[in-house]
Amino acid sequence: MSGENLQTAFGGITLADALFYRRSVRKFAPEPVHPDRLRVAIEAAWLAPSPHGSAPWRFCLVASPEARLRLAAEMGKDFLRDMESEGVPEAERKRRHAGSLRLLTGAPALILAALSYKDLDSYADPAKQANERMMAEHSLGAALQNLMLALTAQGIGSVWRCAPLFCPGTARRALSLPEDWVPRAIVLAGRAEAPPPSKPGARPAVLVR
C-alpha cells in the first residue's frame, strides 16, 4: 500500500497520536472489524526492520468461529496443565482459564503472529545461531508494535497476548499452520467497549555515560 493510501486509511491521524493514544484493550464492542483494516495493519507490520531484511514474520487471520474456538480450547488445555504443575489452586486455575477463553473467543478480530527461521543466516556456532534467532524475536516485537499502532490510527483497539509463546506446537496444530511457523503471539482487535484508562507519564530508565 502506498503512503498516500495509508494516510487515507488512517484518516489523517499522525504517528504521534497513535503512539500516545494506544492502550491495551481487553473489553471490545461487538461490532466486527473490516478485513481491509486488518490487512492495512499487517502491511504496516511488514515495514518493520528485520535481521538481514529476512522478514521472518508470519500472520494468520483467525476469522472463522470454529478455528477461533479450536485454538482457544487447545491452548487452554496446555494453560490448565501448566497452572496445575505450578501449584496454582484449582479455583484460580478455573478463573484464569475462563477469562482467557472469553477474551480469545469474544474479541471481534484475532491475528496470530509467528516466526519462520528458514531464511535466517546459518552458523556452525550454536551461540551465534541463537543470537541470529534472537534478532528475529526482536524484530517480531517491532512488527507487532507497527501492527498495533496501525490499528490505533484506524480507531481500532488491540491487546497483545503471548499465550502461543508457551505452546507453539499446540497453536500451530490447532490452526494447521505450515511446519516452519513458530507461533509467538496473538493480537486481539476491535473497537473498545469504553475508553481505556490513561497511563501515568512515561518514566524510562536511562543511563548516560
Residue-wise pLDDT for 150-179, tens only, equals: 999 898 999 999 999 999 999 999 999 999
CA gap 32, 86 in Å, rounded: 37
Domain that holds residue 83: 3-190
Judged against a pLDDT cut of 60, whether residue 181 lies above it is answered with yes
Decide if 48 contacts 59 (C-beta within 8 A). Answer: no
Asked if the structure places residue 171 within a domain, the reply is: yes
Say if residues 42 and 98 touch (Cβ distance below 8 Å). no
The percent of residues in the chain predicted with pLDDT above 70, rounded, is 94
Whether 207 is covered by a domain: the verdict is: no
Beta strand pairing call for 109-115 and 182-190? antiparallel
Give the model's confidence band at 133: pLDDT under 50 very low, under 70 low, under 90 confident, else very high.
Answer: very high
Reference 14, options 148, 153, 145; nearest CA is 153
How many C-beta atoms surround the C-beta of residue 181 within 10 A? 21
How far is the C-alpha of 207 from the C-alpha of 128, rounded, in Å?
A: 28
Q: Please check whether residue 195 lies inside any domain of the structure.
A: no
Residue 199 lies in a domain: no
Pair 1, 9: CB distance under 8 Å:
yes
Cβ(80)–Cβ(143) below 8 Å: no
Q: Which of the pair, 69 or 22, is modelled with greater confidence?
A: 69
Residue 205 predicted with pLDDT over 60: yes
Choice between 204 and 77, residue whose per-residue pLDDT is larger = 77
Asked if 37 and 151 touch (Cβ cutoff 8 Å), the reply is yes
Residue 53's region, left for phi above 0, alpha for psi from -120 to 50, else beta, is left
Residue 6 pLDDT greater than 60, yes or no = no
Name residue 148's amino acid: M
Q: Domain for residue 123, yes or no?
A: yes
Counted domains in the chain: 1
* Separation between Cα atoms, residue 182 and residue 175, nearest integer Å: 12
Cα gap 97→104, rounded to integer Å = 11
Question: Is residue 81 in a domain?
Answer: yes
Cβ neighbours, 10 Å, residue 101: 16
| pLDDT-derived band at 2, boundaries 50, 70, 90 | very low
pLDDT for 12 beyond 70: no
Tens digits of residue pLDDT in 72-113: 999 999 999 999 999 999 999 999 999 999 999 999 999 999
User: Do 54 and 159 form a contact (C-beta atoms < 8 A)?
Assistant: no
Candidate from 11-20, 78-87, 127-136, 190-199 with smallest mean pLDDT:
11-20
Q: Residue 159 sits in a domain of what CATH number?
A: 3.40.109.10
Q: What is the pLDDT of residue 10?
A: 58
Q: For position 125, what pLDDT does the model report? A: 96
The DSSP 8-state label assigned to residue 188 in this structure reads E
Whether 200 maps to a domain, the answer reads no
Give the DSSP H or E segment for 59. strand 57-61
Does some domain include residue 122? yes
Mean of the per-residue pLDDT values of the chain: 91
What's the pLDDT tens digit per position in 28-59? Answer: 999 999 999 999 999 999 999 999 999 999 99
